[in-house]
Structure 1
Amino acid sequence: MKPTICDLEPAHLADARRLLSQAFAADPYLVAALPDPRRRARALPMLFGAVLDNARQHGSVRVTLDPGTHELAGVAAWAWWPHVGLGLLTSVRHGLATLPLVVGVRDTARLDRLNRTHEAAHRRLAPAKHRYLHAIGVAPGHQGAGVGSALLLDGLADADAAGVPTYLETHRAENVRLYERYGYELVQELRPGDLHARCMLRPARQP
Protein backbone atom coordinates (compact mmCIF):
# COMPACT_ATOMS: atom_id res chain seq x y z
CA MET A 1 0.00 0.00 0.00
CA LYS A 2 1.31 3.43 -0.96
CA PRO A 3 2.35 5.43 2.13
CA THR A 4 0.18 8.42 3.00
CA ILE A 5 2.23 11.61 3.23
CA CYS A 6 1.33 14.75 5.17
CA ASP A 7 2.94 17.77 6.79
CA LEU A 8 4.57 17.31 10.18
CA GLU A 9 2.21 18.22 13.02
CA PRO A 10 3.64 19.92 16.14
CA ALA A 11 2.55 16.93 18.23
CA HIS A 12 4.99 14.73 16.27
CA LEU A 13 7.95 17.11 16.38
CA ALA A 14 9.78 15.29 19.18
CA ASP A 15 9.19 11.96 17.41
CA ALA A 16 10.59 13.38 14.16
CA ARG A 17 13.67 14.64 15.96
CA ARG A 18 14.17 11.23 17.54
CA LEU A 19 13.61 9.35 14.26
CA LEU A 20 16.21 11.41 12.39
CA SER A 21 18.66 11.11 15.28
CA GLN A 22 18.36 7.33 15.11
CA ALA A 23 18.54 7.25 11.31
CA PHE A 24 21.73 9.32 11.24
CA ALA A 25 23.42 7.88 14.33
CA ALA A 26 26.06 6.14 12.17
CA ASP A 27 26.10 8.59 9.25
CA PRO A 28 29.72 9.06 8.07
CA TYR A 29 29.43 12.86 8.17
CA LEU A 30 28.29 12.96 11.77
CA VAL A 31 30.67 10.19 12.84
CA ALA A 32 33.57 12.15 11.34
CA ALA A 33 32.49 15.35 13.09
CA LEU A 34 31.43 13.77 16.40
CA PRO A 35 33.39 10.52 16.79
CA ASP A 36 32.42 9.77 20.39
CA PRO A 37 29.11 7.84 20.15
CA ARG A 38 27.79 8.97 23.54
CA ARG A 39 28.45 12.64 22.85
CA ARG A 40 27.03 12.25 19.35
CA ALA A 41 23.84 10.70 20.75
CA ARG A 42 23.37 13.72 23.01
CA ALA A 43 24.06 16.19 20.23
CA LEU A 44 21.90 14.75 17.45
CA PRO A 45 18.51 15.74 18.90
CA MET A 46 19.79 19.32 19.19
CA LEU A 47 21.08 19.32 15.61
CA PHE A 48 17.96 17.78 14.11
CA GLY A 49 15.74 20.03 16.18
CA ALA A 50 17.40 22.96 14.40
CA VAL A 51 17.14 21.24 11.00
CA LEU A 52 13.43 20.58 11.46
CA ASP A 53 12.72 24.08 12.73
CA ASN A 54 14.51 25.61 9.76
CA ALA A 55 12.63 23.40 7.30
CA ARG A 56 9.28 24.14 8.93
CA GLN A 57 9.93 27.87 8.63
CA HIS A 58 11.61 27.95 5.23
CA GLY A 59 10.44 24.84 3.40
CA SER A 60 8.53 21.78 4.50
CA VAL A 61 8.76 18.73 6.71
CA ARG A 62 6.82 15.82 5.23
CA VAL A 63 6.11 12.61 7.09
CA THR A 64 4.44 9.26 6.75
CA LEU A 65 2.52 7.62 9.58
CA ASP A 66 2.12 3.95 10.39
CA PRO A 67 -1.54 3.22 9.46
CA GLY A 68 -2.00 1.02 12.52
CA THR A 69 -0.20 2.86 15.29
CA HIS A 70 -0.11 6.37 13.75
CA GLU A 71 3.54 6.60 14.76
CA LEU A 72 6.03 8.23 12.43
CA ALA A 73 7.41 5.91 9.77
CA GLY A 74 9.52 8.42 7.85
CA VAL A 75 10.55 12.08 7.78
CA ALA A 76 11.90 14.34 5.02
CA ALA A 77 13.08 17.89 5.76
CA TRP A 78 13.28 20.19 2.73
CA ALA A 79 14.52 23.80 2.77
CA TRP A 80 14.11 26.46 0.10
CA TRP A 81 17.06 28.48 -1.13
CA PRO A 82 18.53 30.68 0.32
CA HIS A 83 17.61 29.18 3.73
CA VAL A 84 19.74 26.08 3.25
CA GLY A 85 22.01 26.68 6.24
CA LEU A 86 21.04 27.00 9.89
CA GLY A 87 20.83 30.67 10.80
CA LEU A 88 22.05 32.13 14.06
CA LEU A 89 18.58 32.51 15.61
CA THR A 90 17.60 28.95 14.72
CA SER A 91 20.85 27.63 16.17
CA VAL A 92 20.49 29.60 19.40
CA ARG A 93 16.82 28.61 19.79
CA HIS A 94 17.76 24.94 19.75
CA GLY A 95 20.68 25.24 22.10
CA LEU A 96 23.45 24.87 19.56
CA ALA A 97 25.29 27.71 21.27
CA THR A 98 25.83 25.27 24.14
CA LEU A 99 27.05 22.46 21.87
CA PRO A 100 30.66 22.80 23.13
CA LEU A 101 29.38 21.86 26.60
CA VAL A 102 27.86 18.68 25.14
CA VAL A 103 30.53 17.46 22.73
CA GLY A 104 33.56 19.58 23.59
CA VAL A 105 35.28 22.46 21.85
CA ARG A 106 37.33 20.28 19.50
CA ASP A 107 34.33 18.38 18.11
CA THR A 108 32.31 21.58 17.81
CA ALA A 109 35.11 23.16 15.80
CA ARG A 110 35.39 20.06 13.60
CA LEU A 111 31.64 20.08 12.94
CA ASP A 112 31.79 23.78 12.09
CA ARG A 113 34.64 23.23 9.61
CA LEU A 114 32.78 20.42 7.87
CA ASN A 115 29.59 22.47 7.74
CA ARG A 116 31.43 25.40 6.18
CA THR A 117 33.08 23.17 3.58
CA HIS A 118 29.76 21.63 2.58
CA GLU A 119 27.87 24.92 2.57
CA ALA A 120 30.52 26.59 0.40
CA ALA A 121 30.24 23.79 -2.17
CA HIS A 122 26.45 23.89 -1.96
CA ARG A 123 26.29 27.62 -2.71
CA ARG A 124 28.77 27.27 -5.55
CA LEU A 125 27.08 24.28 -7.20
CA ALA A 126 23.49 25.43 -6.72
CA PRO A 127 23.58 29.24 -6.71
CA ALA A 128 20.03 29.81 -7.98
CA LYS A 129 16.65 29.12 -6.41
CA HIS A 130 16.27 25.45 -5.56
CA ARG A 131 14.98 23.00 -2.98
CA TYR A 132 17.45 21.33 -0.62
CA LEU A 133 16.93 17.88 0.85
CA HIS A 134 18.49 18.49 4.24
CA ALA A 135 17.55 15.14 5.80
CA ILE A 136 15.45 12.08 5.06
CA GLY A 137 15.07 9.13 7.38
CA VAL A 138 12.93 6.02 7.84
CA ALA A 139 12.13 4.24 11.10
CA PRO A 140 13.81 0.80 11.37
CA GLY A 141 10.54 -1.13 11.26
CA HIS A 142 9.50 0.54 8.00
CA GLN A 143 12.70 0.29 5.97
CA GLY A 144 12.34 -1.49 2.65
CA ALA A 145 8.62 -0.69 2.43
CA GLY A 146 8.89 2.22 0.02
CA VAL A 147 8.59 4.95 2.67
CA GLY A 148 11.82 6.73 1.73
CA SER A 149 11.04 6.60 -1.99
CA ALA A 150 7.56 7.97 -1.42
CA LEU A 151 8.90 10.88 0.65
CA LEU A 152 11.54 11.63 -1.95
CA LEU A 153 9.06 11.58 -4.84
CA ASP A 154 6.72 13.82 -2.87
CA GLY A 155 9.41 16.47 -2.48
CA LEU A 156 10.55 16.16 -6.09
CA ALA A 157 6.98 16.65 -7.31
CA ASP A 158 6.76 19.82 -5.24
CA ALA A 159 10.02 21.12 -6.72
CA ASP A 160 8.94 20.24 -10.25
CA ALA A 161 5.65 22.08 -9.74
CA ALA A 162 7.68 25.15 -8.77
CA GLY A 163 10.05 24.66 -11.71
CA VAL A 164 13.20 24.47 -9.56
CA PRO A 165 16.03 21.93 -9.19
CA THR A 166 16.83 20.04 -6.01
CA TYR A 167 20.17 19.50 -4.32
CA LEU A 168 21.51 17.06 -1.73
CA GLU A 169 24.69 15.60 -0.29
CA THR A 170 25.24 11.97 0.54
CA HIS A 171 28.19 10.39 2.33
CA ARG A 172 27.40 6.81 1.40
CA ALA A 173 28.59 5.47 -1.95
CA GLU A 174 25.62 3.10 -2.27
CA ASN A 175 23.21 6.05 -2.22
CA VAL A 176 24.61 7.60 -5.41
CA ARG A 177 23.03 5.05 -7.74
CA LEU A 178 19.76 5.22 -5.81
CA TYR A 179 19.50 9.00 -6.23
CA GLU A 180 20.56 8.75 -9.86
CA ARG A 181 17.45 6.65 -10.48
CA TYR A 182 15.40 9.68 -9.46
CA GLY A 183 17.20 12.01 -11.84
CA TYR A 184 20.03 13.33 -9.66
CA GLU A 185 23.45 13.90 -11.18
CA LEU A 186 26.75 13.72 -9.33
CA VAL A 187 28.18 17.23 -9.73
CA GLN A 188 31.13 17.16 -7.33
CA GLU A 189 32.89 15.02 -4.76
CA LEU A 190 34.34 16.55 -1.60
CA ARG A 191 37.07 14.91 0.44
CA PRO A 192 37.58 16.92 3.63
CA GLY A 193 39.91 14.77 5.71
CA ASP A 194 38.81 11.14 5.65
CA LEU A 195 35.25 12.04 4.68
CA HIS A 196 33.91 11.49 1.15
CA ALA A 197 30.87 13.59 0.25
CA ARG A 198 28.93 13.32 -3.01
CA CYS A 199 27.11 16.49 -4.08
CA MET A 200 24.12 15.79 -6.30
CA LEU A 201 21.80 18.05 -8.30
CA ARG A 202 18.54 17.18 -10.04
CA PRO A 203 17.25 19.56 -12.72
CA ALA A 204 13.61 20.57 -12.64
CA ARG A 205 11.25 18.48 -14.73
CA GLN A 206 7.90 19.29 -16.26
CA PRO A 207 5.21 18.14 -13.81
Structure 2
Amino acid sequence: MGVRVRRAQESDRDLVVRLLDESFRDDPVSNWVFPGEEHRLARHAGLMGVFTDVTLAEGYIDLAEDGSAVALWMDMPDAPHDGAGDGGREGGGDQDDVPAQVRAAVDPDNERVEQIARWTTEIHPEGRAHVYLWMIGVAPGRQGEGLGTALMAPVLERCDREGLPAYLEASNPRSRALYERLGFVFTGTALDLPDGPSMWPMWREPQAG
Protein backbone atom coordinates (compact mmCIF):
# COMPACT_ATOMS: atom_id res chain seq x y z
CA MET A 1 0.00 0.00 0.00
CA GLY A 2 1.14 3.55 -0.62
CA VAL A 3 1.80 5.36 2.65
CA ARG A 4 3.16 8.89 2.56
CA VAL A 5 5.61 9.43 5.39
CA ARG A 6 7.09 12.70 6.60
CA ARG A 7 9.43 13.78 9.37
CA ALA A 8 7.50 15.18 12.34
CA GLN A 9 8.24 18.69 13.61
CA GLU A 10 7.69 20.44 16.93
CA SER A 11 4.31 21.59 15.64
CA ASP A 12 3.26 17.93 15.41
CA ARG A 13 3.90 17.26 19.10
CA ASP A 14 0.28 17.11 20.23
CA LEU A 15 -0.66 14.83 17.33
CA VAL A 16 2.22 12.47 18.09
CA VAL A 17 1.41 12.33 21.81
CA ARG A 18 -2.26 11.68 21.14
CA LEU A 19 -1.47 8.93 18.65
CA LEU A 20 0.99 7.22 21.00
CA ASP A 21 -1.48 7.50 23.87
CA GLU A 22 -4.26 5.90 21.85
CA SER A 23 -1.98 3.23 20.35
CA PHE A 24 -0.35 2.07 23.59
CA ARG A 25 -3.03 2.64 26.20
CA ASP A 26 -4.10 -1.02 26.03
CA ASP A 27 -0.62 -2.42 25.42
CA PRO A 28 0.43 -5.07 27.98
CA VAL A 29 3.42 -3.05 29.15
CA SER A 30 1.41 0.16 29.53
CA ASN A 31 -1.14 -1.81 31.53
CA TRP A 32 1.64 -3.01 33.81
CA VAL A 33 3.19 0.45 34.25
CA PHE A 34 -0.20 2.05 34.95
CA PRO A 35 -2.43 -0.60 36.55
CA GLY A 36 -6.07 0.36 36.58
CA GLU A 37 -7.93 2.06 33.75
CA GLU A 38 -8.57 5.31 35.62
CA HIS A 39 -4.91 5.63 36.59
CA ARG A 40 -3.81 4.89 33.04
CA LEU A 41 -6.17 7.46 31.57
CA ALA A 42 -4.81 10.08 33.94
CA ARG A 43 -1.07 9.44 33.51
CA HIS A 44 -0.34 7.54 30.31
CA ALA A 45 -0.41 10.53 27.97
CA GLY A 46 2.09 12.34 30.19
CA LEU A 47 4.62 9.57 29.73
CA MET A 48 4.05 9.58 25.97
CA GLY A 49 4.69 13.32 26.08
CA VAL A 50 8.09 12.79 27.71
CA PHE A 51 8.99 10.18 25.09
CA THR A 52 7.94 12.54 22.31
CA ASP A 53 9.89 15.50 23.69
CA VAL A 54 13.09 13.48 24.12
CA THR A 55 12.84 12.08 20.60
CA LEU A 56 12.14 15.46 19.03
CA ALA A 57 15.24 16.79 20.80
CA GLU A 58 17.62 13.88 20.28
CA GLY A 59 16.20 11.60 17.62
CA TYR A 60 13.62 11.79 14.86
CA ILE A 61 9.97 10.94 14.46
CA ASP A 62 8.40 9.64 11.27
CA LEU A 63 4.69 10.23 10.83
CA ALA A 64 2.19 8.96 8.30
CA GLU A 65 0.81 12.04 6.60
CA ASP A 66 -2.76 11.10 7.46
CA GLY A 67 -1.86 10.89 11.15
CA SER A 68 -2.53 7.15 11.37
CA ALA A 69 0.90 5.93 12.48
CA VAL A 70 4.08 7.19 14.09
CA ALA A 71 7.58 5.85 14.77
CA LEU A 72 10.16 7.19 17.24
CA TRP A 73 13.79 6.56 16.27
CA MET A 74 17.18 7.14 17.85
CA ASP A 75 20.61 6.81 16.24
CA MET A 76 22.70 5.16 18.94
CA PRO A 77 26.50 5.57 19.08
CA ASP A 78 29.05 2.78 19.30
CA ALA A 79 29.62 3.45 23.00
CA PRO A 80 27.26 4.07 25.94
CA HIS A 81 26.58 7.67 26.93
CA ASP A 82 24.88 9.58 29.69
CA GLY A 83 21.61 11.45 29.94
CA ALA A 84 18.41 11.20 27.98
CA GLY A 85 20.09 10.36 24.69
CA ASP A 86 18.79 6.82 24.99
CA GLY A 87 15.28 8.13 24.76
CA GLY A 88 15.16 8.79 28.47
CA ARG A 89 16.09 5.16 29.13
CA GLU A 90 19.74 5.85 29.85
CA GLY A 91 20.35 5.82 33.56
CA GLY A 92 23.06 8.46 33.60
CA GLY A 93 25.08 9.25 36.69
CA ASP A 94 24.09 10.38 40.14
CA GLN A 95 23.70 13.94 38.88
CA ASP A 96 21.56 12.96 35.90
CA ASP A 97 19.22 10.17 36.94
CA VAL A 98 16.85 10.26 34.00
CA PRO A 99 14.51 7.40 35.04
CA ALA A 100 13.95 9.07 38.41
CA GLN A 101 13.37 12.42 36.71
CA VAL A 102 10.79 10.89 34.38
CA ARG A 103 8.98 9.33 37.31
CA ALA A 104 8.97 12.66 39.16
CA ALA A 105 7.56 14.45 36.13
CA VAL A 106 4.93 11.89 35.12
CA ASP A 107 3.76 9.91 38.15
CA PRO A 108 5.84 10.48 41.31
CA ASP A 109 4.15 7.76 43.39
CA ASN A 110 4.52 5.09 40.70
CA GLU A 111 7.86 3.30 40.95
CA ARG A 112 7.10 1.25 37.83
CA VAL A 113 7.69 4.30 35.61
CA GLU A 114 11.25 4.41 36.90
CA GLN A 115 11.73 0.63 36.93
CA ILE A 116 10.80 0.10 33.29
CA ALA A 117 13.27 2.80 32.25
CA ARG A 118 16.10 1.22 34.24
CA TRP A 119 15.43 -2.32 33.06
CA THR A 120 15.19 -1.45 29.38
CA THR A 121 18.44 0.51 29.72
CA GLU A 122 20.13 -2.52 31.26
CA ILE A 123 19.18 -4.82 28.38
CA HIS A 124 19.99 -2.29 25.65
CA PRO A 125 23.00 -3.50 23.61
CA GLU A 126 26.18 -1.45 23.78
CA GLY A 127 29.43 -1.29 21.90
CA ARG A 128 28.08 -1.10 18.35
CA ALA A 129 26.36 1.78 16.60
CA HIS A 130 22.76 1.00 15.66
CA VAL A 131 19.35 2.49 15.01
CA TYR A 132 16.85 2.13 17.85
CA LEU A 133 13.16 1.90 17.15
CA TRP A 134 11.96 3.19 20.49
CA MET A 135 8.22 3.11 19.78
CA ILE A 136 5.92 2.63 16.85
CA GLY A 137 2.21 3.25 17.17
CA VAL A 138 -0.72 2.75 14.81
CA ALA A 139 -4.16 4.23 15.47
CA PRO A 140 -6.41 1.50 16.92
CA GLY A 141 -8.87 1.70 14.03
CA ARG A 142 -6.08 1.34 11.44
CA GLN A 143 -4.14 -1.63 12.77
CA GLY A 144 -3.65 -4.57 10.45
CA GLU A 145 -3.34 -2.40 7.32
CA GLY A 146 0.45 -2.63 6.98
CA LEU A 147 1.05 0.89 8.23
CA GLY A 148 3.74 -0.13 10.69
CA THR A 149 5.70 -1.98 8.04
CA ALA A 150 5.41 0.94 5.63
CA LEU A 151 6.53 3.40 8.29
CA MET A 152 9.60 1.33 9.17
CA ALA A 153 10.66 0.59 5.60
CA PRO A 154 12.60 3.82 4.86
CA VAL A 155 14.73 3.56 8.00
CA LEU A 156 15.42 -0.14 7.51
CA GLU A 157 16.41 0.56 3.91
CA ARG A 158 18.82 3.18 5.21
CA CYS A 159 20.21 0.64 7.69
CA ASP A 160 20.86 -1.79 4.86
CA ARG A 161 22.55 0.86 2.71
CA GLU A 162 24.78 2.09 5.52
CA GLY A 163 25.49 -1.27 7.15
CA LEU A 164 23.74 -0.36 10.39
CA PRO A 165 21.99 -2.84 12.67
CA ALA A 166 18.64 -1.98 14.25
CA TYR A 167 17.25 -2.75 17.70
CA LEU A 168 13.88 -2.66 19.44
CA GLU A 169 11.90 -4.19 22.28
CA ALA A 170 8.67 -5.92 21.27
CA SER A 171 5.95 -5.49 23.88
CA ASN A 172 3.42 -8.05 22.65
CA PRO A 173 3.42 -11.27 20.59
CA ARG A 174 1.72 -9.63 17.59
CA SER A 175 4.37 -6.95 17.22
CA ARG A 176 7.13 -9.52 17.75
CA ALA A 177 5.80 -11.55 14.81
CA LEU A 178 5.77 -8.43 12.62
CA TYR A 179 9.35 -7.58 13.50
CA GLU A 180 10.48 -11.12 12.79
CA ARG A 181 9.06 -10.81 9.28
CA LEU A 182 11.16 -7.67 8.84
CA GLY A 183 14.39 -9.43 9.77
CA PHE A 184 14.58 -8.83 13.54
CA VAL A 185 15.72 -11.72 15.70
CA PHE A 186 14.98 -12.23 19.41
CA THR A 187 18.23 -11.83 21.33
CA GLY A 188 17.39 -14.79 23.56
CA THR A 189 16.74 -13.13 26.91
CA ALA A 190 13.32 -11.63 27.58
CA LEU A 191 12.59 -8.89 30.07
CA ASP A 192 9.94 -10.48 32.28
CA LEU A 193 8.19 -7.76 34.25
CA PRO A 194 7.28 -8.80 37.82
CA ASP A 195 3.71 -10.15 37.86
CA GLY A 196 3.37 -8.77 34.35
CA PRO A 197 4.08 -9.31 30.65
CA SER A 198 7.33 -9.96 28.86
CA MET A 199 9.27 -7.71 26.52
CA TRP A 200 11.45 -9.22 23.80
CA PRO A 201 14.68 -7.43 22.81
CA MET A 202 15.20 -7.89 19.08
CA TRP A 203 18.19 -7.19 16.84
CA ARG A 204 18.36 -6.84 13.06
CA GLU A 205 21.62 -7.10 11.13
CA PRO A 206 21.83 -5.05 7.93
CA GLN A 207 20.64 -7.07 4.98
CA ALA A 208 22.04 -7.23 1.47
CA GLY A 209 19.81 -5.97 -1.30
Q: Give the TM interval when normalised to the shorter protein.
A: 0.7 to 0.9
How many residue pairs get matched? 194
Over the aligned positions, Cα root-mean-square deviation in angstroms equals: 2.4
Name the residue aligned to 1:27.
27
SS of residue matched to 1:75? strand
Alpha-carbon spacing, 1:89–1:63, altered in 2? closer, same or farther (3 Å): farther
Q: Is the 8 A contact 2:72 2:136 kept in 1?
A: yes
Name the residue aligned to 2:73.
78
SS of residue matched to 1:62? strand
SS of residue matched to 2:15? helix
Alpha-carbon spacing, 1:40–1:139, altered in 2? closer, same or farther (3 Å): same
Alpha-carbon spacing, 1:49–1:138, altered in 2? closer, same or farther (3 Å): same
Task: Give 2:105's match in structure 1, choosing from 93, 98, 103.
Answer: 98
CA distance in 2, matches of 1:92, 1:46: 15
Q: Does 1:6 align with 2:10?
A: no
One-letter amino acid matched to 1:114: I
Name the residue aligned to 2:202.
200
* Percent pairwise identity: 28
Name the residue aligned to 2:182.
182
Q: CA deviation at 1:92?
A: 9.9
Q: CA deviation at 1:96?
A: 5.3
Q: CA deviation at 1:193?
A: 1.1
SS of residue matched to 1:2? coil
Q: Is the 8 A contact 1:129 1:164 kept in 2?
A: yes
Q: CA deviation at 1:126?
A: 4.2
CA offsets per residue over residues 19-40 of structure 1, 9 Å max, x none?
Answer: 1001000111121121022222
Alpha-carbon spacing, 1:167–1:150, altered in 2? closer, same or farther (3 Å): same
CA distance in 2, matches of 1:20, 1:76: 9
Q: Is the 8 A contact 1:16 1:75 kept in 2?
A: yes
CA offsets per residue over residues 151-193 of structure 1, 9 Å max, x none?
Answer: 1112212333332111111121232222111100000212131
SS of residue matched to 1:6? strand
Q: Is the 8 A contact 1:78 1:132 kept in 2?
A: yes
The alignment's TM-score, normalised by the length of structure 1, stands at: 0.83
SS of residue matched to 1:3? coil
One-letter amino acid matched to 2:45: P
CA distance in 1, matches of 2:65, 2:2: 11
Moved over 3 A (4+): 87-93
